[in-house]
């Protein structure tokens, strides 16, 4: 029965749950409205739909891969378990004091986000380690026992343990874990030395607390999901997508649910990486734009860039610092409040501003005609001719251009002395410039030159804006793959089994200890491999070793990847050379005569990437059939042009069109600016290149 | 391209702001000083050929705002615009032509596009050491405070001035770190320049005249609209603070007039003997910052949006110190400028500004060394550790003050684990200080406790830079004062709020940093808020009963429920 694998991918998003199935029958996909009360229901329904479409029964599914925003939402909406923190005496308020700074300098009425746990949920215990792990004050078991009894009696469901310097020595945290297991076996426990063994107490404690906070809920959800799927016949192994772009077992996910945060967007990045591999492209900028946000990610050599820390639940206009830091391996993405529903207004400087406030799906942009009277990006797109009012969302939502125009006029045109078309131009330019700026800054931070990159665009609103974004970023080539609407769920099916283990351990190159390095790397290797082995007992395992290095005295480390050979025989000279090469690439010049040090070590164990069938080259091109022309505003020249209308369904491999043109499909529209021409590739991806 | 449209100008303005943010980010990532890389004590900006600032990165240091805006004009005058060439980089740490003390290095780079001079990039960073007596208030004049680098070329058409580098290296305690930081500053201007050229190429610009005019015209108009919407008037504000040996009085008159707001510091104390004096440019920066927060927070900083905020102060008052007054710790007084301005502004614009807060950052530096009272263990070493910490901010008309959060400065603290990895120091305690927020309808932000010792085998000096020991933050509209600063050894030996003090082996310094003041009468505070404060231990049982009229029975009930894990 299970000779040919049949795999199901399920992505629970804020609005829709996307389900994709692949097997000998090809690919089927569907979108079901997310069912918040019992999220598993949408997956079950989606599964039955795609199984019916594929002509199979659920029991023939061999593997299910799942990603979800439930963990992220629980953190944003503060709907977690009753959780306590046990920390070192004297440090009860680390998560409340944050960085002691204001993320917005000029707002006298700034409100800092509440910490995840109120102050009376944060307990302390007498104990202390020195920075090198030496015990300064011993932990007293009797004191811990009394504390655990108090926590148990207060009805806590979950406990986070975060002690200072536990990333070098976990013995005190283990004592607390032992006592909890003994006296309060029903309470779930998360240790900072296991969840995120990295220096910097604010990040580590917050990550550990976030894990503890969502653990009971996620554990119960994942248990129910497994039962429901089995009950409906799908009794196969279930895996979870994690934020780092790989998959882990359901059991590991239940223990470390904080690793599931951002798993949906991670699936999108894997999707883009797979398209990149199919087309043999080494430098890709993925661009995912939906209703409320846009996400941008750099993908080099078909591998998304990763980071060790990111921020969730930003409370103040997506402003850096207004959320909470989570230090786990994560695909490094920039997320900004720019989507089809983002609302535009005029500020004190008579400048047009767009987002992050969003019209959402209710009432939606003004053009939906559901009572929204403020102009959104979608309204501007409609007025500029990018959307066909009769064929939006496959004709299910009729659009009203007049409502868009009056909203644009009322909120922008009148105060600025512009007509609706110019106001719409302004909105589209501002939102595109916001996204372009985010992409530029992200590229600079990573020492990359975007003009060498290819963009891959997916998500409902991306193909409308991607062409203009390429013009702004000087990117010559753009790909819009098929299946863009369910990109993340497809990405789940392309992700390898993987787990990244990190450790903070300082070492200066002048005091380099090759033996110690070998043992740190071995430890990390064993840990990461063990996780992968719970998913797959036999597959070959590849390891990516990185160390994070800097000049002694700097505060910002840069990742330096090592080859297997370099990791097996570590030596200081090679590391120095690798570091200087990376540093010069980022910051133009190295600094002579300074000591160099390593702060964090990392090993990512992963199964080989999914097999890729390269897209065949396309032979002769021919013009695609056209269906009339429409007015389309060209922001590059500031003029209205006559764009030919085409249908994506008409594009066989090699069919092409010269910009200005529009390509309509059920879920979105691809805009081909005057500066570009479009062509269908062998895998039905639409390619836009500079004329 | 012909004349760009309004929309295109707006896009370019956004781009310039993004360019300077990138410039600042590059500095954070390449700097060596903890003050820059961890705390964000830096700034960066772009200027037109007249030296008018067009955009500035929003960083942790309002004190750099106007200082940076004025600095480039000094460079143009000293260097001579006609001698400037591609590949040049200029430098200074002049307190009066830079940003207020020798510990700030300012680097200016002229920008050339297609062979033509089109503008400048400038950046400033606080470095940890510049020689002299070290970072502290102990100097009698600026000559003792360290190496003084007049405005000069650091790089001349691509060639670094090796003589200057050797002089700098020979005069400072951490030469590698300082030279590394100077290079980081130069690099960050380069990055800004590269982005600017990309923008000019994309939009087909030959110069910045059009965009400069657009930015400055819009900013001036928007700022004047805000000022002219206010009722005109004049009011005085006054605040007394600890000073070094004798109390300092800060006195200001704020005049809201047609098209401008003037702060006049007549009546303020004269120069102090110690290095807590403030060059006018730094006073102006914080006065302007306070006013901008209150009336025009959303208008970006540039030459035109800053121009309507005027200042005057008597020569050689503590807020207008001139050469050669000692100025190393000018921030200690400078950080109190906003609260003084608000004392006046509250009378002109009621229900807008906060009550007084902790004011200056609660910074200290420890100099650790092997113990000298007994044989030191072999691992004992020397080390310098600087930390930045914050007390509570003042309560706002509608909101409580922020706990342990800097205002007006915006710099960040360092993680304790990072500090303890930097030297043999041990931070035994760093947590909120209950009851230190002034009672009121809105409560002041809490200060914090911090206890500091050394690893076994070490003794140390602590350089204290605290105020509000004798002059806590004062409440507004009937709100109570915030808790004062306290500092002592763990054996009870009293210590001073300012100056270098010895801490013997085995002893711990126990500090309590000040809270912000309250706003409105405590009796008017929402009872649910009082219960929440008590449940969380932000106030004690005694304070709930004494200051907020809670009954003993209610207080005990709240405490018992909090202990049972109830949420308030």
Please tell me if residue A91 touches chain B, with a CB cutoff of 8 Å.
yes
- CA pair distance A173, B223, nearest whole angstrom: 56
Please tell me if residue B203 touches chain A, with a CB cutoff of 8 Å.
no
The helix (run of H) or strand (run of E) holding residue B321 is none
CA distances from B150 to A427, B44, B93, B206 (A): 47, 20, 7, 33
Quick: pLDDT tens for A267-315.
Answer: 999 999 999 999 999 999 999 998 888 999 999 999 898 888 888 877 7
Inter-chain touch A164–B426, beta carbons under 8 Å: no
State mean pLDDT over A3-24. Answer: 88
What's the Rg (C-alpha) of chain B?
A: 25
- CA pair distance B325, B353, nearest whole angstrom: 33
Quick: pLDDT tens for B206-247.
Answer: 999 999 999 999 999 999 999 999 999 999 999 999 998 899
> Looking at the predicted structure, is the pLDDT value of residue B520 above 90?
yes
Quick: pLDDT tens for A406-430.
Answer: 999 999 999 999 999 999 999 999 9
Residue the block writes with tokens 């700098």: B168
Give the pair of three-digit tokens for residue A617.
């080259």
Identity of the residue in A416, A472, A591 whose CB atom sits nearest the CB atom of B180: A591
- CA pair distance A387, A379, nearest whole angstrom: 9
Closest by CA to A467, choosing from A435, A424, A421, is A435
Tell which wins on pLDDT, A15 or B25.
B25
Residue B440's pLDDT is 98
Residue A3's pLDDT is 60
- pLDDT, mean over chain B: 93
> Looking at the predicted structure, is the pLDDT value of residue A396 above 80?
no
To the nearest whole Å, the CA of B518 is away from the closest chain A CA by 15
- Predicted TM-score (pTM) of this structure: 0.91
Please tell me if residue B15 touches chain A, with a CB cutoff of 8 Å.
yes
Residue B60's pLDDT is 64
Confidence of residue B317 (pLDDT cuts 50, 70, 90): very high
DSSP structure string for A585-653: HHHSS--TT--EEEEEEEEEEEPPPPP--PPPPP-S-EEPP---EEEEEETTTTEEEEEEEEEGGG--T
> Looking at the predicted structure, is the pLDDT value of residue A316 above 80?
no
Tell which wins on pLDDT, B48 or A511.
B48
Inter-chain touch A120–B222, beta carbons under 8 Å: no
Quick: pLDDT tens for A593-645.
Answer: 778 989 899 999 999 888 888 888 887 789 999 999 999 999 888 889 999 99
**Domains of chain A with CATH codes:** 7-75+219-260 (3.30.420.40), 81-209 (3.40.250), 263-338+431-494 (3.30.420.40), 342-425 (no CATH), 498-606 (3.30.1490), 624-675 (no CATH)
- CA pair distance A73, A62, nearest whole angstrom: 29
Please tell me if residue B21 touches chain A, with a CB cutoff of 8 Å.
yes
> Looking at the predicted structure, is the pLDDT value of residue A2 above 70?
no
The region, left, alpha or beta by phi > 0 then psi within -120 to 50, assigned to residue B331 is alpha
Please tell me if residue A154 touches chain B, with a CB cutoff of 8 Å.
yes
Residue A534's pLDDT is 84
Mutate one of A120, A338, A442 to test the B interface: name it (highest B CB count within 10 A).
A120
ipTM of the complex, rounded to two decimals: 0.93
Give the pair of three-digit tokens for residue A577.
């050379």
- CA pair distance A114, A349, nearest whole angstrom: 32
Q: How many CB atoms lie within 10 A of CB A410?
A: 16
> Looking at the predicted structure, is the pLDDT value of residue B2 above 70?
no
Quick: pLDDT tens for B477-501.
Answer: 999 999 999 999 999 999 999 989 9
Residue the block writes with tokens 């047009």: A352
- pLDDT, mean over chain A: 91
Please tell me if residue B7 touches chain A, with a CB cutoff of 8 Å.
yes
Please tell me if residue A8 touches chain B, with a CB cutoff of 8 Å.
no
- CA pair distance A287, A463, nearest whole angstrom: 9
Residue the block writes with tokens 């059920």: A666
Measured over the CA atoms of residue A194, residue A196, residue A199 and residue A201, the dihedral's sign is negative
Residue A355's pLDDT is 82
Quick: pLDDT tens for A43-79.
Answer: 999 999 999 999 999 999 999 999 988 888 888 888 8
To the nearest whole Å, the CA of A181 is away from the closest chain B CA by 20
Which chain A residue's Cα is nearest to B27? A587
SS3 content of chain B, % helix, strand, coil (to 5): 35, 20, 45
State mean pLDDT over A315-324. Answer: 80
To the nearest whole Å, the CA of A559 is away from the closest chain B CA by 13
- CA pair distance B428, A81, nearest whole angstrom: 31
Residue B1's pLDDT is 40
> Looking at the predicted structure, is the pLDDT value of residue B275 above 60?
yes
**Considering chain A, what percentage of its residues have pLDDT values greater than 70?**
98
**Exposed/middle/buried for residue A573 (C-beta within 10 Å: 0-12, 13-18, 19+):** exposed
Please tell me if residue B233 touches chain A, with a CB cutoff of 8 Å.
no
Identity of the residue in A84, A121, A348 whose CB atom sits nearest the CB atom of B299: A348
Whether the Cβ atoms of residue B417 and residue A79 lie closer than 8 Å to each other: no
State mean pLDDT over B453-474. Answer: 96
Whether the Cβ atoms of residue A461 and residue A290 lie closer than 8 Å to each other: yes
- CA pair distance B322, A301, nearest whole angstrom: 59
Whether the Cβ atoms of residue B457 and residue B503 lie closer than 8 Å to each other: no
Q: How many CB pairs under 8 A join A and B?
A: 224
To the nearest whole Å, the CA of B390 is away from the closest chain A CA by 6
Q: What is the distance, to the nearest Å, from the Cα of residue B395 to the centroid of all Cα atoms in its chain?
A: 20
Q: What is the distance, to the nearest Å, from the Cα of residue B58 to the centroid of all Cα atoms in its chain?
A: 12
Quick: pLDDT tens for B43-92.
Answer: 899 999 999 999 998 776 787 777 788 899 999 999 999 999 999 999 99
Measured between beta carbons, the chain B residues lying within 8 angstroms of A158 are none
Please tell me if residue B197 touches chain A, with a CB cutoff of 8 Å.
no
Measured over the CA atoms of residue B413, residue B415, residue B421 and residue B423, the dihedral's sign is positive
State mean pLDDT over A520-525. Answer: 93
- CA pair distance A295, A268, nearest whole angstrom: 9
- CA pair distance A274, A264, nearest whole angstrom: 15
Q: How many CB atoms lie within 10 A of CB A153?
A: 12
Long-range contacts of A582-588 (CB under 8 A, 24+ apart): A582/A549, A582/A558, A583/A558, A585/A447, A586/A446, A586/A447, A586/A558, A586/B29, A587/A447, A587/B26, A587/B29, A587/B30, A587/B187, A588/B187, A588/B190
Identity of the residue in B8, B190, B218 whose CB atom sits nearest the CB atom of A350: B218
Could you give the strand order of the β-sheet that contains A16-23, starting from the edge strand earlier in sequence?
A26-33, A16-23, A7-12, A63-68, A238-241, A247-249
Measured between beta carbons, the chain B residues lying within 8 angstroms of A434 are 14
Confidence of residue B3 (pLDDT cuts 50, 70, 90): low
Contacts of A623 (CB under 8 A, 6+ apart): A655, A656, A657
Measured between beta carbons, the chain A residues lying within 8 angstroms of B38 are 555
User: DSSP character for A117?
Assistant: S
Helix/strand number for chain A, H first, E second: 18, 36
- CA pair distance B188, B57, nearest whole angstrom: 12
Measured between beta carbons, the chain A residues lying within 8 angstroms of B32 are 551, 553-554
Mutate one of B10, B186, B306, B407 to test the A interface: name it (highest A CB count within 10 A).
B10
Inter-chain touch B389–A416, beta carbons under 8 Å: no
Inter-chain touch A108–B60, beta carbons under 8 Å: no
**Considering chain B, what percentage of its residues have pLDDT values greater than 90?**
79
Quick: pLDDT tens for A195-219.
Answer: 999 899 999 999 999 999 999 999 9
- At residue A325, φ and ψ (nearest 5 deg) are -80, 140
Please tell me if residue B180 touches chain A, with a CB cutoff of 8 Å.
yes
Identity of the residue in B25, B299, B352 whose CB atom sits nearest the CB atom of A349: B299
Measured between beta carbons, the chain B residues lying within 8 angstroms of A347 are 298
Inter-chain touch A107–B293, beta carbons under 8 Å: yes
Confidence of residue A33 (pLDDT cuts 50, 70, 90): confident
Whether the Cβ atoms of residue A638 and residue A429 lie closer than 8 Å to each other: no
Residue A1's pLDDT is 40
State mean pLDDT over A673-683. Answer: 95
To the nearest whole Å, the CA of B418 is away from the closest chain A CA by 6
Crossing angle between the packed helical segments A420-445 and A401-408, to the nearest 10 degrees:
80
Please tell me if residue A349 touches chain B, with a CB cutoff of 8 Å.
yes
State mean pLDDT over B435-456. Answer: 98
Which chain B residue's Cα is nearest to A444? B22
User: DSSP character for B9?
Assistant: H
State mean pLDDT over A351-374. Answer: 85
Of A5-9, A139-143, A615-619, where does mean pLDDT reach its minimum?
Answer: A615-619
- At residue B287, φ and ψ (nearest 5 deg) are -65, -45
Identity of the residue in B190, B298, B412 whose CB atom sits nearest the CB atom of A101: B412
Inter-chain touch A349–B415, beta carbons under 8 Å: no
Residues 437-466 of A with CB under 8 A from B: 437, 440-441, 444-445
């Amino acid at each position: 029965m299970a000779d040919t694998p049949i795999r199901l991918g399920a992505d629970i998003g804020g609005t829709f749950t996307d389900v994709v199935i692949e097997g000998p029958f090809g690919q089927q996909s569907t979108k079901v409205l997310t069912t918040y009360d019992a999220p598993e229901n949408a997956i079950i329904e989606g599964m039955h739909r795609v199984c019916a479409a594929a002509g199979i029964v659920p029991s023939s599914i061999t593997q299910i891969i799942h990603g979800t925003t439930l963990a992220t939402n629980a953190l944003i909406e503060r709907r977690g378990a009753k959780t306590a923190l046990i920390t070192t005496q004297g440090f009860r308020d680390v998560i409340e004091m944050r960085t002691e700074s204001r993320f917005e300098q000029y707002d006298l009425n700034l409100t800092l986000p509440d910490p995840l746990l109120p102050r009376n949920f944060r307990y302390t215990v007498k104990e202390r380690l020195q920075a090198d792990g030496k015990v300064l004050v011993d932990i007293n078991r009797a004191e811990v026992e009394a504390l655990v009894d108090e926590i148990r009696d207060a009805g806590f469901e979950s406990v986070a343990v975060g002690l200072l310097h536990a990333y070098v020595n976990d013995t005190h945290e283990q004592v607390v874990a032992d006592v909890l297991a003994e006296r309060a076996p029903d309470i779930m426990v998360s240790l900072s030395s296991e969840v995120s063994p990295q220096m910097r107490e604010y990040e580590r404690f917050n990550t550990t607390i976030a894990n503890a906070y969502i653990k009971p809920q996620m554990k119960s959800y994942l248990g129910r999901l497994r039962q429901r799927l089995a009950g409906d016949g799908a009794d196969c192994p279930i895996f979870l997508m994690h934020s780092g772009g790989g998959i882990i077992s359901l059991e590991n996910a239940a223990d470390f649910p904080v690793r599931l945060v951002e798993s949906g967007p991670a699936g999108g990045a894997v999707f883009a990486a797979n398209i990149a591999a199919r087309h043999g492209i080494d430098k890709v900028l993925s661009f995912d734009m939906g209703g409320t946000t846009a996400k941008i990610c750099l993908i080099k050599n078909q591998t998304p860039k990763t980071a060790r820390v990111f921020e969730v639940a930003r409370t103040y206009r997506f402003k850096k610092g207004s959320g909470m830091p989570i230090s786990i391996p994560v695909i490094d993405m920039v997320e900004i409040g720019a989507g089809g529903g983002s609302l535009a207004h005029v500020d004190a400087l008579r400048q047009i501003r767009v987002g992050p406030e969003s019209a959402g799906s209710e009432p939606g942009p003004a053009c939906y005609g559901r009572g929204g009277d403020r102009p959104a990006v979608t309204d501007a797109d409609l007025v500029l001719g990018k959307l066909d009012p009769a064929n939006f969302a496959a004709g299910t939502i009729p659009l009203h251009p007049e409502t868009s125009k009056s909203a644009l006029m009322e909120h922008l045109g009148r105060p600025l002395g512009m007509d609706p078309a110019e106001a719409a131009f302004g909105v589209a330019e501002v939102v595109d410039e916001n996204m372009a700026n985010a992409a530029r800054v992200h590229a600079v931070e990573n020492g990359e030159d975007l003009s060498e990159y290819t963009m891959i665009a997916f998500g409902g609103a991306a193909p409308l804006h991607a062409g203009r974004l390429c013009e702004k970023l000087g990117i010559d080539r753009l790909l819009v793959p098929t299946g863009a609407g369910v990109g993340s769920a497809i990405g789940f099916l392309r992700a390898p089994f993987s787990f990244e283990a990190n450790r903070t351990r300082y070492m200066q190159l002048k005091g380099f200890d090759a033996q110690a390095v070998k043992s740190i790397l071995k430890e990390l290797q064993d840990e990461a491999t063990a996780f992968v082995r719970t998913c797959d007992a036999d597959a070959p395992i590849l390891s990516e070793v990185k160390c994070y290095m800097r000049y002694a005295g700097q505060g910002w480390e840069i990742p330096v990847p090592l080859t297997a050979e370099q990791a097996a025989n570590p030596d200081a000279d090679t590391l120095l050379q690798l570091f200087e090469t990376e540093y010069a690439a980022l910051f133009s010049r190295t600094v002579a005569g300074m000591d160099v040090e390593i702060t964090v070590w990392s090993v990512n164990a992963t199964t080989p990437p999914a097999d890729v069938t390269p897209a065949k080259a396309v032979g002769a091109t021919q013009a695609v059939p056209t269906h009339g022309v429409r007015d389309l505003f060209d922001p590059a020249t500031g003029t209205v042009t006559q764009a030919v209308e085409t249908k994506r369904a008409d594009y066989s491999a090699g069919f092409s069109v010269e910009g200005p043109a529009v390509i309509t499909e059920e879920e979105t529209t691809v805009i081909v600016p005057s500066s570009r021409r479009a062509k269908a590739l062998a895998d039905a991806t639409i390619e836009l290149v500079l004329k | 391209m012909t004349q760009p449209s309004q929309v295109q100008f707006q896009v370019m303005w956004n781009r310039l702001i993004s360019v300077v943010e990138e410039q600042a980010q590059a500095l954070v990532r390449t700097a060596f000083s903890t003050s820059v890389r961890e705390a964000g004590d830096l700034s960066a900006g772009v200027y037109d050929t007249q030296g008018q600032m067009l955009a500035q990165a929003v960083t942790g240091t309002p004190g750099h705002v106007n200082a940076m805006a004025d600095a480039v004009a000094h460079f143009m005058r000293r260097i001579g615009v006609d001698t400037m060439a591609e590949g040049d980089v200029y430098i200074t740490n002049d307190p009066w032509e830079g940003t207020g003390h020798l510990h700030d290095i300012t680097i200016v780079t002229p920008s050339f596009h297609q062979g033509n001079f089109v503008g400048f990039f400038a950046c400033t960073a606080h470095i940890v050491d510049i020689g002299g007596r070290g970072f502290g208030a102990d100097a009698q004049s600026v000559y003792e405070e360290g190496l003084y680098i007049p405005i000069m070329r650091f790089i001349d058409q691509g060639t670094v001035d090796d003589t200057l580098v050797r002089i700098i290296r020979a005069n400072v305690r951490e030469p590698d770190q300082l030279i590394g930081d100077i290079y980081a500053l130069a690099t960050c201007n380069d990055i800004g320049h590269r982005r600017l050229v990309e923008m000019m190429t994309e939009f087909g610009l030959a110069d910045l005249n059009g965009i400069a005019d657009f930015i400055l015209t819009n900013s001036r108009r928007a700022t004047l609209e805000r000022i002219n919407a206010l009722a005109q008037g004049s009011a005085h504000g006054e605040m007394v603070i600890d000073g070094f040996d004798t109390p300092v009085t800060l006195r200001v008159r704020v005049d809201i007039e047609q098209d401008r707001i003037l702060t006049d510091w007549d009546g303020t104390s004269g120069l102090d003997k110690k290095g807590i004096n403030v060059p006018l440019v730094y006073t102006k920066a914080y006065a302007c910052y306070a006013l901008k927060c209150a009336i025009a927070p959303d208008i970006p900083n540039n030459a035109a949006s800053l121009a309507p905020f005027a200042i005057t102060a008597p020569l050689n008052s503590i807020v207008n110190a001139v050469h050669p007054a000692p100025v190393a710790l000018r921030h200690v007084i400078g950080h109190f400028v906003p609260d003084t301005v608000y004392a006046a502004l509250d009378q002109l614009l009621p229900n807008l500004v906060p009550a007084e807060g902790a004011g200056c950052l609660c910074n200290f530096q420890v100099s650790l060394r092997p113990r000298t009272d007994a044989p030191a263990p072999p691992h004992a070493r020397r080390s310098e550790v600087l930390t930045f910490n914050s007390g509570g901010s003042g309560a706002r008309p509608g909101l409580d003050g922020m706990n342990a959060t800097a205002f007006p400065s915006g710099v960040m603290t360092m993680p304790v684990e990072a500090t303890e990895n930097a030297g043999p120091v041990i931070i035994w305690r760093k947590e909120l200080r209950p009851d230190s927020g002034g009672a009121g309808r809105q409560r002041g932000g809490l200060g914090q406790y911090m206890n500091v010792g050394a690893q076994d085998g070490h003794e140390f000096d602590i350089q204290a830079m605290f105020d509000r020991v004798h002059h806590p933050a004062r409440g507004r509209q009937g709100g109570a004062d915030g808790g004062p600063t306290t500092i002592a050894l763990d054996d009870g030996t009293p210590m001073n709020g300012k100056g270098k003090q010895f801490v013997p082996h085995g002893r711990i310094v126990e500090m309590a940093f000040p809270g912000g003041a309250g706003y409105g009468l405590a009796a008017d505070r929402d009872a649910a808020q009082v219960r929440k404060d008590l449940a969380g231990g932000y106030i004690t049982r005694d304070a709930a009963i004494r200051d907020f009229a809670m009954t003993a029975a209610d207080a005990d009930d709240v405490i018992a429920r909090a202990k049972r894990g109830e949420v308030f």
